[in-house]
């Protein structure tokens, strides 16, 4: 039989996303309107009205290509985060930034370091370029930064760190990251993936952009998919010093962020009220879900993101079994067996009534 492509591409296990509402309705014979999707860490508030208005204004220009340099969006990012435009790389989601980093910096056979139980795209981006993964055992479900620094090999070109981490929700304090960055050799690039940073409490915040000014080998990635409520549009960005940014932009597809996404992202960057509401709904929902878990004795990993990892049972089929039972009740959560966590499930934090529907269904399923 003819085989196509390199071995390392054929070895890739495809990304498993959250099930779409339409698919669950079709497969389980349910009414779409009765289904609650808490599977992809999306913003339960729905798309911000400010973004919708901006897209309506931009829609008449869709016969033209987008601005490949994203002038207006970079200007809005510059204004909000106080970084120059030539420090910014726009991405088709922050996923694009993670892949760009691997494609720009790593050759086949070289190594990439990341943590056990960290975001599924790190292995994908690593394998796609034929690189060798150095997976560092997690500590209490989170990154063991000392072990990660020690695991850096002579051929390591890239390290991925997610803070907060998905799917475990663990958080690394700023002083620990600062100490880690000091230890990383200057020829090794660190991607600090901050997809969930807007959900941090004020006392947890640290100055990642200050580190970017200090370290020419650091890329901080952010997204509009979570707290900014634009997951379907696919916009994210990376911030790094100009030399690294220039390289990333040579590999970047010229029109990787479409016009509507650019317009919406500008609008929502200026929509402080939406961002605050997102954070508040998340804080309240986290309390609602974890209080119920505590009351019913369900183990969970304390989370700083917009989701919670909880224990579905003690056997290796628990995640699959409880997930299926929840699907039949119209509740979509995320199995994490592909992360090596078959006894666990991840639930995204929704609106109060969505969280309540999930908790009611879970109670019945686990009874």
Ligand X SMILES: Cc1ncc(COP(=O)(O)O)c(C=O)c1O
What does DSSP say about strands 189-193 and 132-136: parallel, antiparallel, or unpaired?
unpaired
Q: CB nearer to ligand X: give 119 or 199.
A: 119
Mode of pairing for the β-strands spanning 111-115 and 132-136: parallel
Nearer to ligand X by C-beta: 47 or 361? 47
CB of 95 to ligand X, least distance (A): 3
CB of 328 to ligand X, least distance (A): 25
Pick between residue 236 and residue 335 the one whose CB is nearest to ligand X.
Answer: 236
Structure tokens at 246: 């220039």
> Across-strand partners of 190?
159, 218
Tell the smallest beta-carbon distance from residue 314 to ligand X (Å).
27
For residue 30, the minimal CB distance to ligand X (Å) is 25
Maximum pairwise Cα distance, the chain: 59
Query: CB-wise, 189 or 361, nearer to ligand X?
Result: 189
Two structure tokens written together for 190: 């660190």
Under a CB-based contact definition with an 8 Å cutoff, are residues 131 and 88 in contact?
Answer: no
Neighbours of 270 (CB within 10 A): 13
Answer for the pair 73, 262: CB distance below 8 angstroms, yes or no: yes
Judged by the rule CB under 6 A, the positions of this chain that interact with ligand X are 41, 93-95, 119, 162, 166, 193, 195, 223, 225, 231, 236
Query: What helix, strand, coil percent values describe the chain, rounded to 5?
Result: 45, 15, 40
Smallest distance from the beta carbon of 96 to ligand X, in angstroms?
A: 7
Starting at the edge strand that comes first in sequence, how are the strands of the sheet with 236-239 ordered? 88-91, 236-239, 218-223, 189-193, 156-162, 111-115, 132-136
Pick between residue 222 and residue 329 the one whose CB is nearest to ligand X. 222
Q: Which residue is nearest to ligand X (CB)?
A: 93
CA angle 231, 233, 237 (to 5 degrees): 80
Smallest separation, CB 40 to ligand X (Å): 7
Closest CB to ligand X among 167 and 329?
167
């Amino acid at each position: 039989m003819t085989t196509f492509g390199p071995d390392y591409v054929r070895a890739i296990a495809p990304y498993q996303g959250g099930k779409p509402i339409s698919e669950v309705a079709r497969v389980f014979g349910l009414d779409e309107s009765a289904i609650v999707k808490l599977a992809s860490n999306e913003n339960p508030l729905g798309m911000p009205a400010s973004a919708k208005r901006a897209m309506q204004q931009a829609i008449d220009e869709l016969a033209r290509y987008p601005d490949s340099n994203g002038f207006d969006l970079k200007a809005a990012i510059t204004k909000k985060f106080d970084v120059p435009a030539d420090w910014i790389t726009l991405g088709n989601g922050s996923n694009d930034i993670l892949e760009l980093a691997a494609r720009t910096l790593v050759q086949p056979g070289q190594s990439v370091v990341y943590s056990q139980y960290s975001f599924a795209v790190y292995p994908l981006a690593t394998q796609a370029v034929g690189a060798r993964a150095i997976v560092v055992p997690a500590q209490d479900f989170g990154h063991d930064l000392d072990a990660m620094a020690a695991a850096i090999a002579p051929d390591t070109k890239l390290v991925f760190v997610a803070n907060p981490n998905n799917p475990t929700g663990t958080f690394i304090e700023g002083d620990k990251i600062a100490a880690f960055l000091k230890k990383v050799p200057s020829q090794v690039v660190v991607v600090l993936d901050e997809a969930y940073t807007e959900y941090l409490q004020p006392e947890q915040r640290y100055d990642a952009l200050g580190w970017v000014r200090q370290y020419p080998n650091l890329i901080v990635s952010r997204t509009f998919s979570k707290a900014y409520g634009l997951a379907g549009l696919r916009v994210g960005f990376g911030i790094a010093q100009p030399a690294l940014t220039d390289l990333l932009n040579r590999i970047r597809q010229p029109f990787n962020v479409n016009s509507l996404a650019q317009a919406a992202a500008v609008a929502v960057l200026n929509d402080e009220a939406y961002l605050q509401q997102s954070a508040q709904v998340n804080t309240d929902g986290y309390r609602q879900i974890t209080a119920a878990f505590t009351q019913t004795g369900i183990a969970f990993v304390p989370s700083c993101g917009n989701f919670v990892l909880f224990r579905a049972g003690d056997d290796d089929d628990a995640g699959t079994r409880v997930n299926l039972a929840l699907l039949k009740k119209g509740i979509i959560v995320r199995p994490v067996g592909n992360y090596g966590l078959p006894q666990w499930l991840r639930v995204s934090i929704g609106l109060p009534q969505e969280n309540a529907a999930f908790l009611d269904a879970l109670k019945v399923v686990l009874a």
